[in-house]
Structure 1
């Protein structure tokens, strides 16, 4: 099968990482063309055909649209998958001139008009389905590649790890207030970069947490951190289908999360909590660790194989074939 992946943006986040991982996995058995910003080229395997595009600056330019049309006509794909509203709008404009089906994947809970009036769409969780208006909506859980972890040395105490960009939606400011009141020896490591770094650094100073919290930045060995820590936390205010949760199912001993989309479909009630009760829940895990670890092991056994990028790739191929068959009727 000949597949185009069309990605907008120039910063690596969960959605971008997923698109690249999916492109890499698909390329092992299919011809894959990825249209994306040059920022992402270093993450793409050589089996993927990569075409560098500056979509942010050019998407409303008629000559840019013509360039995209020429690229797509030359590659002659069976299907095109897009991952953000700007790329959807480009495909909607080109659709009258292309006899190629395209499917749009919705990665978050935000209401975006580009996801209205579609023929085919993919939702990554049941909650995100309500933000899409399409003739056919398929649900495919995200997946991530598995990399065997190794034990690393973390600071003394009960080690808590959070993974994700330093953005307001991740709730890290609230997490700092939560851990500031813990009455046992702990250390919190936050893995990720983003626009909230200065604000979080200032809050760490204000709460006198310099010895208790590390903003570790972007790390390529997230698996090692999760494997070596005692507890992973997700304090997000909103999610689509958290890649950090999937990584937790692969590597973490225990995972606690707020009641956000995706996590509510996978995690048991005992591992979910409101942000207001997060402090008490961490204390409960610390005091009853074996019970929470046993509860999480059951979920790891149930879901870890279903949430690999290989399983996700196989589900996408099934959907692609279904769409192609419908489009040819």
Structure 2
């Protein structure tokens, strides 16, 4: 296996172009000016087709025998320390009892993380639906979305949630500030700051922070749409000269 230094040398000699999916990742590459510059590191966002808000959904309140006034905070992703799901009990401890979390996903650390959550009294307000082949139905079933990750490249689930017009709270991980336009289209918090995450959720629940669904959908469609990704990728591969 080649060392990173050898890989960089090969990259430089071949005059290759690196395509990344966020300005955060591009910035990381530009820290190595001998190898990377604006001419050979190109950012193309992951693109998503705008989904329909109408369609199949999961009847989560019936499934978990929850009253109609329950606020459902969605989380999604594999069970891993990176994703921060171990923080959910602490986040909920600072929120009213009618706020619940529903998590979709599975993963290597599922048993360990679930055991730690189930040891807390807040576990009765955390519900697991496992792996979902139809994530669109999941997104149509929640009231807001929480990304509590400690690190990401570009969190597609955050993009997907916003494309459904769902208000979001996210940690400041690579890509999230771009997706949320530095707080214009969602609440940003520091990593591991459970109080700030809880406050972000509370502010949306009580209507202190309002993010219009139509605005979120338009923003994602305009800046992170599938057609824009195709256009920019084609430009990267087929233009004779990179700008």
Which whole-Å CA distance do the structure 2 matches of 1:114 and 1:301 have between them?
Answer: 44
Q: Secondary structure at the match of 1:130?
A: helix
Q: How does 1:165-176 map to 2 (within 5 A)?
A: 165-176=78-89
Q: Deviations over 1:68-102 (max 9, x none)?
A: xxxxxxxxxxxxxxxxxxxxx6xx9xxxxxxxxxx
Find the counterpart in structure 2 of residue 181 from structure 1: 94
Q: Deviations over 1:159-202 (max 9, x none)?
A: 01011111111111112321233223122111111122112211
Are the counterparts in 1 of residues 49 and 221 from structure 2 also a CA contact under 8 Å? no
Q: Secondary structure at the match of 1:188?
A: strand
Q: Deviations over 1:261-295 (max 9, x none)?
A: 11101214252122411112211211116x4232x
Which whole-Å CA distance do the structure 1 matches of 2:224 and 2:129 have between them?
Answer: 26
Counterparts in 2 of 1:161 and 1:252: CA distance versus 1, 3 Å:
farther
Q: How does 1:140-289 map to 2 (within 5 A)?
A: 140-149=44-53, 150=55, 151-155=57-61, 156=66, 157-267=70-180, 268-269=182-183, 271-274=187-190, 275-276=192-193, 277-288=196-207
Q: Secondary structure at the match of 1:232?
A: strand
Which whole-Å CA distance do the structure 1 matches of 2:71 and 2:162 have between them?
Answer: 19
What TM-score results when the alignment is normalised by the length of structure 1?
Answer: 0.59
Which whole-Å CA distance do the structure 2 matches of 1:306 and 1:315 have between them?
Answer: 11
Q: Deviation of residue 210 (structure 1)?
A: 4.1
Q: Secondary structure at the match of 1:238?
A: coil
Are the counterparts in 2 of residues 235 and 258 from structure 1 also a CA contact under 8 Å? yes
Are the counterparts in 2 of residues 227 and 252 from structure 1 also a CA contact under 8 Å? no
User: Which has the higher Rg, Structure 1 or Structure 2?
Assistant: 1
Counterparts in 2 of 1:252 and 1:113: CA distance versus 1, 3 Å:
farther
The two structures, once aligned, show a CA RMSD in angstroms of 2.6
Q: Deviation of residue 211 (structure 1)?
A: 2.8
Counterparts in 2 of 1:281 and 1:115: CA distance versus 1, 3 Å:
farther
Of 207, 210, 217, 1:292 maps to 210
The answer to which structure, 1 or 2, has the higher relative contact order (CA under 8 A, 6+ apart) is: 2
Q: Secondary structure at the match of 1:293?
A: coil
Higher strand proportion (structure 1 or 2): 1
- Are 2:1 and 1:120 equivalent residues in the alignment? no
What TM-score results when the alignment is normalised by the length of structure 2?
Answer: 0.77
Counterparts in 2 of 1:301 and 1:170: CA distance versus 1, 3 Å:
same
Q: Deviation of residue 219 (structure 1)?
A: 0.5
Q: Deviation of residue 303 (structure 1)?
A: 2.4
Q: Deviation of residue 253 (structure 1)?
A: 2.2
Counterparts in 2 of 1:198 and 1:239: CA distance versus 1, 3 Å:
same
Q: Deviation of residue 113 (structure 1)?
A: 5.5
**How many residues are matched?**
215
Are the counterparts in 1 of residues 47 and 229 from structure 2 also a CA contact under 8 Å? yes
Counterparts in 2 of 1:142 and 1:213: CA distance versus 1, 3 Å:
same
My pick for the range that moved more, 301-310 or 272-281, is 301-310
Which whole-Å CA distance do the structure 2 matches of 1:300 and 1:252 have between them?
Answer: 5
- Are 2:208 and 1:317 equivalent residues in the alignment? no
Q: Deviation of residue 307 (structure 1)?
A: 2.0
Are the counterparts in 1 of residues 23 and 43 from structure 2 also a CA contact under 8 Å? yes
Q: Deviation of residue 146 (structure 1)?
A: 4.4
